[in-house]
Each structure stands twice: as C-alpha cells, then as structure tokens.
Structure 1
Amino acid sequence: MACLFRVPAEVVKQRTQASHFKSSLEAFKFLLKDQNNEGLIRGFYRGWNTTILREIPFTSIQYPLYEFLKKKWAFYEENNKISPLQGATCGSIAGGTAAALTTPLDVLKTRIMLHKERIGLVALTKNLIKEEGFKSLLNGMVPRILWISAGGFIYLGMYETVHFILTERNEINKKLQ
C-alpha cells in the first residue's frame, strides 16, 4: 500500500534529479500533462513492479533481522530487555543490511524509472551488465546503506521508545491497582 504513494514520489524525484527540470513541481506538471505519451497512470507508476520487487525482499530481510538482533542482544542483558537506544541500533543494522542486499534491485528500479522508453526488467539488466558491467548494479550502495541505516535508527528507535513508555506506564498502572 505504501508504494501507491511512494512510487509516484520516486518518479518525480528521480526525474527531477536526472533531467532538465528545475524543480519537483515542474517534473510533476510534466507528468500530469502527459507530454511523454505514457498516460497519466503509466507515467506516475513507471517502475511500480520493480519497486515492489525491491520492497518485498527488503522488508523480508529488515524486520526478521531486526527482531533477531533484539532477541540476541536481550539475551545478554540482565533483565532480558533492551533499551530504546539498543533497539534503534538493531534497526539501523537491519536496515543497512537490507539496503546493501537489495541495492541491485534499487538500481534497476531507478534505471527503469529514468529510461526514455519503456523497457522490461530482464532486457534492462542484460543491457546494463553488458554495457557497464556487473559492478554497476552496486552503484550508490554506500549512500543507500547510510541513508537507510539512519532511517532505521530513527524509525525503529521511535517505535522502541513509544513501546518502552507504554510498557512502563502499563506496569505502573498494574502496580497501582
């Protein structure tokens, strides 16, 4: 469901970064006017399938790894609980790992969004490896890892903080009853 909003935003962002558009609003208006003959939906949702193809393995790696790291860390803690900061650290490591492993899919998603004509994933992958080498599938890996690690730290750290506060509040209420 998140991709319903994420993909159009990504298309506008990618087009703004890699083209002659002066702003995201200009890229958005261009897509709205359908000057590229793709149609409104196809223009805004170019790369939808590849985005889904990236998101499923990303999420399938990130969240189980996050839970695994929390359980391992909690095992070594006195009360078998981790702090919100420790949870945020687990979220950062899990996000960074998932980002690294799914970078080739992210590269392909970006190339499809930016390709002048519609192109299939298999054809794009073959062309990319043939013309630029396999290493091109790893372009942008370090910034992606850093960005998603920071996001995992903040997002899952906030989750852990709220969870901690609500759990503590619940335990206090039980003691008062």
Structure 2
Amino acid sequence: MLFYERKIMGSKENTKELYKITPSQQAIASCCGAIVTSLLVTPFDVVKIRLQAQSNSFANGKCFVYSSGLMDHVYVCEDQNSKPLNKKAGHFRGMLDAFVKIIKIEGIKSLWSGLPPTLIMAVPSTVIYFTSYDQLSEVLISKLGKDNDHIPVLAGSISRLGSLTVVSPLELIRTKMQSRQLSYKQLRIFINNTMAKDGWRSLWRGWGPTALRDVPFSAMYWYHYELMKKRLCKTLDAREPTFMISFTSGAAAGSIAATVTLPFDVVKTHKQTEIWEDETLNLSQKRSTSAWTVMKKIVAEHGFTGLFAGIVPRLIKVAPACAIMISTYEYGKSFFRKLNKQKNIQSY
C-alpha cells in the first residue's frame, strides 16, 4: 500500500502517464465531439457557403447544393432530380437575410441539409485528425521537449494533411451518390471507369485547394490553442484544462485562424464548386485553373473584399465549432482518464 501511495503522489508526469488514455479512447472522444459540433454549427456553415457561392455562376438549369458539417462539402445536381430545391432561396444581402430567406422559402430543415452524408465524412476525418494530433504530439514531445512551441504547428499540419488525404476519395464517392441514385455495383463501375480514364490520382481531385486552406488553419489553430490553454491554466492555477478553459481557448484560436485563412476558404469553395460541377454534370469542357488564378479572378470581379466573402458567418460558425469540438474532446479525454484512474485503483 505504501508503494502505491508513493506512486500516486509522485510527479505530475508520472501520474499522467499512469492514467494515460488509449488511442481508441481518444477516437471515441473525438467522434462524440464531431457529432455534437456538426449538429450545432451546420446552419452557420450552410449560410456561409451560400453567401460565398452565390457570386459563382452555374450552368443553366442546374442548382448549387451544400452539404455541411465540421468541414465544407459542396456538389451540384439537376433541379428536376431534387424537388425540395425547386423552391430555392434567391440572392442574399447578408447573414441574417440568408437565414430568414432559407427558413421562409426552403423550410428550416434546409439549414441542416446534407447533414447525414456529411457526418459520414466528418466523423472519420475528425477521428483521424484529433487522434493523430495527440499521438504526434507525444512523439514530438519525446524528441523535442514539452516546451517546444513548434510541436503544435508540426503536429497540427501533419495530422490535418493526413486526414484530408485519407478522406478525399470518400468525398468523391459521396458526391456521386448524392448527385443521383446509384447502386453499389454502378458506383464500383463509376470508380473503375474514373481510374481507367484519368488515373488513380483523379480520386483526389480538389485535394490541393482543400490542403491550401486546412493545413495553415490547423497550424495556426493548434499553436494558439495550446498557447492560450497554458496561459489560462497558469492564470487560474488549474492543473488540467477545465471545460471553460478549453472552450475559451478553442473559440479564440479558431477565430484567429479563420480570419487569416479566409481567402483560401473562398478560393477552395469556388474551386470545389467547379470540380463537382464538372464531375456530376459531365460537362464537355473541363476547367483546370490554379488556386492563384481563381484568387486573381475573384479580386478582379469583386475586389479585394471578395476574398473575405462570408467572414461574419464564418467567424460565427468557426468560433463555436472549434470551441465545442475541442472542449467536448478534452472533456471526453478527462472522462477516460478518470475512468482509467479508477481501474488502476481497483486493480491494487
């Protein structure tokens, strides 16, 4: 018993190691966070994408459809195959106007349109992302030391790059399934034909614009989150981050990262819209423009402010999304850490 008490009363590092949560527990915590976040912030994501995309032209007789969750996903379909969208809201003058028109014309359910298929995308991506971040952080801490400020930047960038690389082919498949009714056999034929025609790299179309926006966002987000979390814990004399510390740090870090990377977000939405339009509508003339070309086009047509289209709904969406996700994730990890502590106590 004396040996066990010494073990429990040891250094903070030894205690934390003793009750260390497993990768599977990290995955469960991030999964719960992804679901809660998607349910709460999807309406803001819907409005943000609609405000950004309304300036982009589409083929006659076609409509723009959004599918939102933790990440942005867009695709196109024909009006005749999508009855609820025949009563699509028109031009929006701002965030509040968009909310009112969507609810009045399309119904309140439209604010959560595309949520089920997006959860299929968001949950695995978030699980990979957050679990990889924690695992990479532990490895980098053992190599570089726990006080190295580059660890959140490196871990955040690598984990985000890995998660979006894994999920990109799934997004192409999801897009095809939503654009029309396909059996699994037809879907397999589509994938085989796509790879035979354009090669296996075609499954990762749109990867570039997504990485251009998400990787810098992740680097800045994790850097500021870890920094603010440490400062708040020190100020409040807290050994572990509480729910409110994680919530506040996540909201602040998300707002900073969202503001800086907004131009990349606008470019990504325009690029992805063109890609999905080409894929699902089988347009004869494929568009292949670089992100820099798209950015110059936006500035030429809408001015420099065009790169910051939808900044208000983006901030209103991103700040609570980051806050809810990270605080739920940290709460989940804290729950499993306490659970592991009880199991260790019972084992003696």
Task: Answer whether TM exceeds 0.5 for this pair.
Answer: yes
The structural deviation recorded for 1:144 is: 1.2
Structural RMSD (CA): 3.5
Q: Distance in 1 between matches of 2:253 and 2:239?
A: 20
The amino acid that maps onto 1:29 is R
Q: Distance in 2 between matches of 1:153 and 1:121?
A: 29
Alignment partner of 1:102 is 2:261: yes
The amino acid that maps onto 1:77 is L
What's the CA shift string for 1:130-176, capped at 9, x where partnerless?
22111100001111111121211221011111222233445556666
Q: Distance in 1 between matches of 2:200 and 2:179?
A: 13
1:68 alignment partner in structure 2: 227
Q: Distance in 1 between matches of 2:308 and 2:289?
A: 20
> Match of 1:65, SS?
helix
% identity of equivalent residues: 25
The structural deviation recorded for 1:48 is: 1.9
Q: Distance in 2 between matches of 1:39 and 1:29?
A: 21
The amino acid that maps onto 1:10 is H
What's the CA shift string for 1:32-61, capped at 9, x where partnerless?
78xxx9979888754321101111101001
Alpha-carbon spacing, 1:40–1:111, altered in 2? closer, same or farther (3 Å): farther
The structural deviation recorded for 1:120 is: 1.7
Alpha-carbon spacing, 1:110–1:40, altered in 2? closer, same or farther (3 Å): farther
Q: Distance in 2 between matches of 1:129 and 1:141?
A: 16
1:3 alignment partner in structure 2: none
Structure 1 unaligned segments of length 5 or more: list them: 1-5
Alignment partner of 1:153 is 2:323: yes
Q: Distance in 1 between matches of 2:262 and 2:234?
A: 32
1:49 alignment partner in structure 2: 208
Residue from 73, 77, 81 that aligns with 1:10: 73
Alpha-carbon spacing, 1:110–1:39, altered in 2? closer, same or farther (3 Å): farther
2:294 alignment partner in structure 1: 124
User: Would the aligned equivalents of 1:66 and 1:91 in 2 still touch at CA under 8 Å?
Assistant: yes
> Match of 1:10, SS?
strand
Specify the structure having the higher radius of gyration (Cα): 2
Q: Distance in 1 between matches of 2:238 and 2:266?
A: 43
Residue from 247, 272, 278 that aligns with 1:113: 272
User: Would the aligned equivalents of 2:233 and 2:245 in 1 still touch at CA under 8 Å?
Assistant: no
The amino acid that maps onto 1:118 is S
Alignment size in residue pairs: 163
Alpha-carbon spacing, 1:133–1:46, altered in 2? closer, same or farther (3 Å): farther
The amino acid that maps onto 2:73 is E
Residue from 59, 65, 73 that aligns with 2:218: 59
User: Would the aligned equivalents of 1:99 and 1:145 in 2 still touch at CA under 8 Å?
Assistant: yes
The structural deviation recorded for 1:122 is: 2.0
TM superposition score normalised by structure 1: 0.73
The structural deviation recorded for 1:29 is: 2.4
Q: Distance in 2 between matches of 1:59 and 1:155?
A: 14
What's the CA shift string for 1:95-141, capped at 9, x where partnerless?
12211111100100111122373322222222221221111000011
Q: Distance in 1 between matches of 2:220 and 2:299?
A: 25
1:89 alignment partner in structure 2: 248
Q: Distance in 1 between matches of 2:200 and 2:180?
A: 14
Structure 2 unaligned segments of length 5 or more: list them: 1-68, 86-113, 115-174, 182-186, 278-286
More strand per residue:
2
User: Would the aligned equivalents of 1:128 and 1:136 in 2 still touch at CA under 8 Å?
Assistant: yes
Q: Distance in 2 between matches of 1:142 and 1:43?
A: 34
The amino acid that maps onto 2:247 is A
